[in-house]
């Protein structure tokens, strides 16, 4: 394998080696040698080749493999992963996870009854939580939307099997995110000033029957260690993929929505990016980027919910939480009345986060704003004032102008594609007036 990838190896010699390797892979029992190679070598090329042999065996020749051999493979590969997942290169580890999921794709639940149970156990053990989340995401990718080489009946069976596990999985993922957040949260005796203090804070508190829910928002964003950030990023990646195919209206709870929005706050936390720049080390810069990435991943989850027009059973509570969290994020991003400061804040935020957040606002306004306007307790004018402020301070034209184009339809009542504007003209003019009164001299 080293010779094959060496820069001095001729194309003719590469063809010879490739033929030898292909012939070896076709031999009966070649997988046993590959299992030995995986256990005994640290050569990346050899390990990747060995996994490719397993992959072809499982996806192309599995029906002809003796039952005893299948049983041995189902037993040995997960043990190998569990023993070496911390030392394997990430791409080898991920490939091994994919091979094990391929076995589940063929044999679960008839011959591999503990396939998904093992994944849940990995997630629930703190030592193997990251590995379990990688397995879960791979399973969602490979089994929920399988390739065309499976029969229609098998595809439907796999989807049904996964749907039966959705509530358990969402509960585990929510628990992981909440546990990390609570563990690292620091509640000071005297909380610092926040964007929701004063009048705006009262508005948020009045949105919920329990004012304490709104009071949680001003708490500082926790400082996570590297391992916790990694676990949370994996959990959010899992949620984003799950949201792409599960029936959202029957699965999403207000508590899960709130938890995801908690992590969306990492994207508008300029403090971490400033600290990373000041401290200067590459490690600190990576930490700052990871914190921002959590915000981007959380917004990806939220946008999946918005794009599917999710209407859960507890819809009024869902709408309350959605509005409250959106109001808070807008306040946090546009909290300073000085136009230059707001622009600087937007420039400091991750560009991917701004794009995701702008997409979210576009979806939120088009899907839910009309519903919100009918609730007298919602501070809609204040919300739209913040929305205008955010829009007019967009740094990049390609980010702000599409939103302005959307806003012209929403606020002025242009036709297409919906028959009615999203808000009334009277509300629009009240918002314009409030925005004019609140804008800074530099605007």
Give the DSSP per-residue string, 368-422.
Answer: HHHHHHT-TTS-HHHHHHHHHHHHHT-SSHHHHHHHHHHHHHHHH---SSSSS-S
Under a CB-based contact definition with an 8 Å cutoff, are residues 172 and 132 in contact? Answer: no
Residues 6+ apart with CB under 8 A from 129: 122, 123, 176, 231
Per the CB < 8 A criterion, the answer to whether 176 and 188 are in contact is no
Q: Tell me the two tokens of residue 348.
A: 């400091």
Please compute the mean of the pLDDT values over residues 288-293 and round it to a whole number: 70
Statement: residue 342 has pLDDT above 80: no
Average pLDDT over residues 298-327: 84
Phi, psi of 313 (to 5 degrees): -60, -40
Looking at 52-56, 172-176, 181-185, 371-375, which range is the least confident one?
A: 371-375
Checking if the pLDDT of 434 tops 60, the result is no
Distances (CA, A) of 238 to 176, 214, 222, 227, 322: 12, 27, 22, 17, 21
Average pLDDT over residues 170-188: 86
Would the pLDDT of 196 be above 50? no
* 142-150 mean pLDDT: 86
Q: Over 50: is that where the pLDDT of 278 sits?
A: no
Cβ atoms of 89 and 51 closer than 8 Å: no
Structure tokens at 150: 């499976």
Q: Determine the average pLDDT of the residues in 139-144.
A: 95
**Band (31; pLDDT cuts 50, 70, 90):** very high
Q: Can you tell me the mean pLDDT for 296-318?
A: 85
Q: Name which residue leads in pLDDT, 298 or 364.
A: 298
% of residues, the chain, pLDDT over 90: 49
Token duo for residue 174 = 């929510």
Distance CA(219)–CA(95), nearest Å, equals: 40
The pLDDT of 7-24, averaged and rounded, is 94
Q: Which of the residue ranges 321-335, 366-380, 417-431 would you say has the lowest mean pLDDT?
A: 417-431
Average pLDDT over residues 302-322: 81
Q: Can you spell out the DSSP letters for 301-330?
A: HHHHHHHTT---TTHHHHHHHHHHHHHHHH
What is the predicted pLDDT for the residue at 149? Answer: 81
Q: At what angle do helices 30-40 and 67-84 cross, to 10 degrees?
A: 10
**Residue 328 and residue 261: Cα distance in Å, rounded?**
10
CA 412/CA 118 separation, integer angstroms: 55
Question: Residue written as tokens 């207000």?
Answer: 254
96/312: higher pLDDT: 96
Residue-level pLDDT at 404: 52
Q: Provide the pLDDT confidence category of residue 275 given band limits of 50, 70 and 90.
A: very low
| Rounded-to-integer distance, Cα 347 and Cα 393, Å | 10
pLDDT at 244: 93
Nearest partner of 122 among 108, 107, 112, 137, judged by Cα: 137
What 3-state class would DSSP assign to 216?
coil
- Compute the average pLDDT of residues 238-248: 94
Region of 198 (left: φ > 0; alpha: ψ -120 to 50; beta: rest) is left
Chain CA centroid to CA 288, Å:
18
Per-residue model confidence (pLDDT) at position 250: 80
Tokens of 283: 């490690």
Residue 120 has pLDDT above 90, yes or no: yes
Mean pLDDT of 371-386: 78
pLDDT of 112 higher than 80: yes
The SS3 assignment for 23 reads: helix
Q: Cβ distance 101 to 149 under 8 Å?
A: no
For residue 355, what are the contacts with CB-CB under 8 A and spacing of at least 6? 399
Q: Which residue has the higher pLDDT, 7 or 312?
A: 7
CB 315 within 8 A of CB 250: no
pLDDT band for 190, please (50, 70, 90 cuts). Answer: very low
Mean pLDDT of 323-335: 86
How many whole angstroms separate alpha carbon 107 and alpha carbon 342? 56
CA 120 to CA 129: how far, in whole Å?
A: 9
Number of Cβ within a 10 Å radius of residue 142? 17
Lowest mean pLDDT segment, chosen from 125-134, 236-245, 413-422: 413-422
Instruction: Report yes or no: 399 and 347 within 8 Å, Cβ to Cβ.
Output: no
List, in sequence order, the alpha helices (H) in 125-248. 129-139, 152-163, 166-184, 199-207, 211-215, 226-243
Mean per-residue pLDDT of the chain = 81
Mean pLDDT of 72-85: 97
pLDDT of residue 376 exceeding 90, the answer is no
Alpha-carbon span 249 to 267, nearest angstrom: 26
Residue 317 pLDDT: 79
Task: Report, as an integer, the average pLDDT of 236-264.
Answer: 91
Confidence band, pLDDT 50/70/90 cuts, at residue 11: very high
- The whole-angstrom separation of Cα 422 and Cα 426 is 12
240-251 mean pLDDT: 90
pTM over 0.75: yes
User: How does pLDDT run across 380-427, given as a tens digit for each residue?
Assistant: 788 888 888 888 776 554 554 555 555 544 454 433 444 444 455 555
Q: Which residue has the higher pLDDT, 239 or 362?
A: 239
């Amino acid at each position: 394998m080293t010779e094959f990838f060496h820069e001095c190896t001729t194309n003719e010699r590469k063809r010879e080696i490739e033929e030898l390797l292909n012939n070896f892979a076709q031999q009966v029992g070649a997988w046993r040698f590959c299992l030995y190679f995986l256990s005994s070598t640290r050569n990346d090329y050899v390990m990747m080749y060995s996994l490719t042999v397993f992959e072809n065996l499982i996806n192309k020749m599995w029906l002809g493999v003796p039952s005893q051999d299948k049983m041995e493979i189902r037993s040995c590969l997960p043990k190998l992963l569990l023993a070496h997942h911390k030392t394997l290169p990430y791409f080898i580890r991920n490939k091994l996870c994919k091979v094990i999921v391929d076995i589940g794709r063929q044999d679960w639940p008839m011959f591999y009854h503990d396939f998904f149970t093992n994944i849940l156990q990995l997630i629930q053990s703190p030592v193997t939580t990251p590995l379990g989340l990688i397995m879960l995401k791979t399973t969602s990718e490979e089994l929920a939307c399988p390739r065309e080489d499976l029969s229609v009946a098998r595809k439907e069976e796999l989807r049904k099997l996964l749907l039966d596990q959705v509530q358990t999985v969402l509960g585990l993922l929510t628990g992981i995110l909440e546990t990390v957040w609570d563990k690292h949260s620091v509640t000071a005796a005297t909380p610092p000033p926040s964007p929701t203090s004063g009048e705006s804070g009262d508005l948020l508190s009045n949105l919920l029957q329990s004012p304490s829910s709104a009071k949680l928002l001003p708490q500082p964003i926790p400082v996570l260690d590297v391992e916790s950030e990694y676990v949370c990023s994996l959990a959010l990646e899992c949620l984003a993929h799950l949201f792409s195919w599960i029936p959202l209206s029957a699965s999403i709870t207000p508590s899960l929505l709130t938890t995801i929005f908690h992590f969306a706050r990492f994207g508008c936390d300029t403090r971490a990016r400033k600290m990373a720049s000041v401290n200067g080390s590459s490690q600190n810069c990576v930490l700052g980027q990871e914190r921002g990435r959590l915000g981007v991943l959380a917004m990806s989850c939220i946008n999946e919910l918005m794009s599917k027009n999710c209407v859960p059973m507890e819809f009024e509570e869902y709408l309350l939480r959605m509005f409250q969290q959106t109001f808070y994020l807008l306040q946090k991003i546009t909290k300073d009345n000085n136009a230059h400061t707001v622009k600087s804040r937007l420039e400091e935020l991750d560009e991917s986060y701004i794009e995701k957040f702008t997409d979210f606002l576009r979806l939120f306004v088009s899907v839910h704003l009309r519903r919100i306007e009918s609730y007298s307790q919602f501070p809609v004018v204040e919300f739209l004032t913040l929305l205008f402020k955010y829009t007019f301070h967009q740094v990049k034209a390609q980010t702000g102008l599409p939103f302005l184009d959307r806003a012209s339809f929403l606020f002025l009542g242009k036709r297409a594609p919906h028959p009615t504007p999203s808000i009334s003209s009277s509300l629009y003019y009240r918002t314009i007036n409030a925005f004019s009164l609140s804008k800074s001299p530099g605007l």
